[in-house]
Structure 1
Amino acid sequence: MNLESPKISVEKTPEEVFNFLSDIKNFESLMPENISKFEVLDEDKFLFALKGMPEIILKKKEVTPPNKIVLGAAGGKIDFSLTGNIIQVDENSSEVQLEFTGDFNPMMSMMIKGPINKFIETLATNIPNAI
C-alpha cells in the first residue's frame, strides 16, 4: 500500500525543513489532536499512540540531506515506512510531501487506508505552522 500526502508549501529552505524533521522530538508538534501518547525513546526513535489505536514506534532509517528523511516501524508485527520528501521551490521556500509505504493484506489495507491517509495529511499540513 502506497499513500501520499498533498504537497505542502513551506516558506523555509529545504535545509531548514530537513533540520526540523531530523529532530524527532519535533514530530510531537505535527501530531493530530487525538494523540494520546508521545514519547522520545532515543535520538532516532519515538513512540506515539492515537486514541483507540495501538502504540507505534518509529525509527529514523535513512537520511539524505536536505531532501529526504525515512522513518520506519521499529518492532511490531507490521513493516512500513514514512518518507518525507523535500523539494526546493526557490531560495526561500520548499515543498514537502509525505509518503507512507507498507505491505499489508487486502483486509488490513481496507481498514487502515482511511485513517493513515488522514494521519499523513495532518502531519504534512502541520509542518508550515510548526517550523
Structure 2
Amino acid sequence: MKVNTNKVRLSKNQQDAFEFLLNMENYKQLMPTDTKSFEIHESGKGFTVGVGALPKVGMRLKETTEPSQIVFESPAPAFDYTLTINIEAIDENTSDVQLDFDGKFNMMIEMMAKKPLTSFIETIAENLGKL
C-alpha cells in the first residue's frame, strides 16, 4: 500500500526543515485533531500515536540523509512499513516536503487501514504546510 502526499511548501530552508522534522517533539503539532495519544520513544528516535479509529501507529527512525531525507520504519516486526520524508531546497528560505508511506500488508488489513492511514499521512502534510 502506497500513500504519497503532494509537496507542501515550508517557510524554512532545507536544513531547518530537516532539523525540525528530526525532532520528535515537533510531530505533536502535526498530528490530526482526533489524536488520542502521542508518546515519544525512550530513545528519542521515534514515537507512537493513537488517532481516531486506527490502532496505535509507531514510527522509529531508520535512517537519515542530511539535509534531504528522513526515513521512519515500523517498530513492530509484525508490520512492515516505512514513511519517507523528502525535503527539497527551493531557495535559501523555503523548501518543499513530501511524505511517502509504503506498507506491505495483507489484503484484509490494507482494506481496513487504507482510508484512515491515507487521511493520517495527508493531515501531517497539510499541518506541515501551515507552519
Structure 2-normalised TM-score? Answer: 0.92
Equivalent position of 2:61 in the other structure: 60
Which residue identity is paired with 1:84? I
Equivalent position of 2:83 in the other structure: 82
Cα distance per residue 1:28-83 (max 9 Å; x no partner)? 11000010000112210211101332222211101111100011110252111111
Going from structure 1 to structure 2, the CA distance change for 1:53 and 1:76 (only over 3 Å counts) comes to farther
Deviates more, 1:32-41 or 1:106-115: 106-115
What SS class does the counterpart of residue 90 from structure 1 fall into? Answer: coil
Which structure 1 residue ranges, 5 or more long, are not aligned?
Answer: none
Provide the rounded CA distance (Å) in 2 between the counterparts of 1:111 and 1:35. Answer: 19
Which residue identity is paired with 2:39? E
Which residue identity is paired with 1:31? M
Cα distance per residue 1:64-117 (max 9 Å; x no partner)? 111000111102521111111001112211100000001012232222211111
Which residue identity is paired with 2:19? N
Structure 1 stretches of at least 4 aligned residues deviating more than 2 Å after TM superposition:
none
Contact persistence 2:54–2:117 (CA under 8 A):
no
Provide the rounded CA distance (Å) in 2 between the counterparts of 1:80 and 1:14. Answer: 25
Equivalent position of 2:23 in the other structure: 23
Provide the rounded CA distance (Å) in 2 between the counterparts of 1:83 and 1:120. Answer: 11
Identity score, percent? 36
Which residue identity is paired with 1:60? L
What SS class does the counterpart of residue 90 from structure 2 fall into? Answer: strand
Going from structure 1 to structure 2, the CA distance change for 1:20 and 1:70 (only over 3 Å counts) comes to same
Equivalent position of 2:11 in the other structure: 11
Structure 2 matches for 1:91-130, cutoff 5 A? 91-130=92-131
Which residue identity is paired with 1:102? G
The CA RMSD measured in Å over matched residues stands at 1.3
Deviates more, 1:97-106 or 1:69-78: 69-78
Equivalent position of 1:46 in the other structure: 47
Contact persistence 2:74–2:81 (CA under 8 A):
yes
Contact persistence 2:54–2:116 (CA under 8 A):
no
Structure 1-normalised TM-score? Answer: 0.92
Which structure 2 residue ranges, 5 or more long, are not aligned?
Answer: none
